[in-house]
Amino acid sequence: MELLADCVDSFAYQLLFNAFAFVLGAAVGSFLNVCIYRLPRELSVNRPRRSFCPVCKQPIPWQQNLPLISWLVLRGRCANCGGKIAFRYLVVELVSALLFLAIWQSFPWQIAITYWVFVSLVIVGTFVDLEHFIIPNQVTIGGIAAGVLASFAVPELMGSDSRIAAVVRSVLAAALGYLTLLFVLEAGKVAFGKKRIRLDAPAPFTWTRQGDDAEFVVGSERSLWSDYFAREKDQLLLRCDEAKIDHRSFGNTTLDFHYDRVAVEGEVIALDEVAQISGVVRELQIPREAMGRGDLKFLAAIGAFLGWRAVLFSIFAGSLLGSLVGLVTLLVGKRVWSAKLPFGPYLAFGAVSWMFFGETFLRWYLGLLNPH
């Protein structure tokens, strides 16, 4: 009888702790939503203290700001103005709650707490990157610092029992993350083409709309317009001897392209309204630096928390998922310029997969290498 009572007790305890982890995750998710909205807009995350409706800017009373429940009860609308509250708010709260619970169930409590901090940073980084194509420094640089601190506090994170060794490993893994991705991106740049291409002789070019994309031909080089743009801020400069945008002609001029628009002589024209651009180009310039170093610092933060193997795995798993998504969007024919996803969310996917399944994956992989 006593044994049974003990069992019921421990079951009740577990249930209580699991419920606590889930609710804590949802509440943290609610705060992460505030960060996702405010960080890229450079608003303070604690002032104003109270959440406000993004449409009518009215403060939201606490009873309408309960994680998960409020969104569902109000069906994603502001109680004051009826404005739409993005589905993202519900998704972030639910994902946070589920990850907090899964972490609690999978790891000893000291590690679980550091992983809670880690997934919070990853969630903010992912959703800001999806909406704004940047990852805020609070997440990346803050994440590196938090990861090194966490490794000092819980050396088991780095598979060590010495605090000093754990800190060194964490810092090295962060450096590895930054440098590996830097190398991959630079190598990609070389494979992709030089940043500044001065043509031997001025060459004719045409830009012809094709559905959601466009065909871009310089001399005899044929390419897809969308291949030139990975990020919203990417630019392409064409220095032309002459240019023609639909029926308008320009002399010696520079066309300054973004994926969706072209600026010429102080005027901005949306590419949606253009059928054809042609002319003679003498230099093509791709200022890639506009890309920012967000991804690199993000992977460094992943390394600082999860170690060097997680760095390599995140690149591997992220690229794999990226190619799959690219293939699927290509197959269903939804290849829109702006639909190109940033790399941050893929890295996040790789990191979280590693957190839960890294050990299993390694064992499986080593088994493949040494079959008995």
Site residues (CB under 5 A) for Zn ion? Answer: 53, 55-56, 78, 80-81, 83
State in angstroms the smallest separation of the CB of 60 from Zn ion.
Answer: 8
Token pair for 294: 């967000």
E strand spans, the chain: 196-210, 213-218, 221-224, 236-245, 248-250, 253-258, 261-264, 267-270, 276-285
55 vs 165, which CB is nearer to Zn ion?
55
- What gap in Å lies between CA 104 and CA 114, rounded to an integer? 11
51 vs 170, which CB is nearer to Zn ion?
51
State in angstroms the smallest separation of the CB of 61 from Zn ion.
Answer: 12
Q: 311 near 302, Cβ under 8 Å? A: yes
Token pair for 137: 């420094």
> Could you tell me which residues are beta bridge partners of residue 59?
52
Rg (CA), the chain: 25
38 vs 288, which CB is nearer to Zn ion?
38
State in angstroms the smallest separation of the CB of 30 from Zn ion.
Answer: 17
State in angstroms the smallest separation of the CB of 33 from Zn ion.
Answer: 15
76 vs 142, which CB is nearer to Zn ion?
76
64 vs 110, which CB is nearer to Zn ion?
64
State in angstroms the smallest separation of the CB of 86 from Zn ion.
Answer: 12
- What gap in Å lies between CA 54 and CA 135, rounded to an integer? 21
63 vs 370, which CB is nearer to Zn ion?
63
State in angstroms the smallest separation of the CB of 62 from Zn ion.
Answer: 16
- Identify the H or E element spanning 63: none
Question: Which of 23, 24, 43, 25 minimizes the C-alpha distance to 35?
Answer: 43
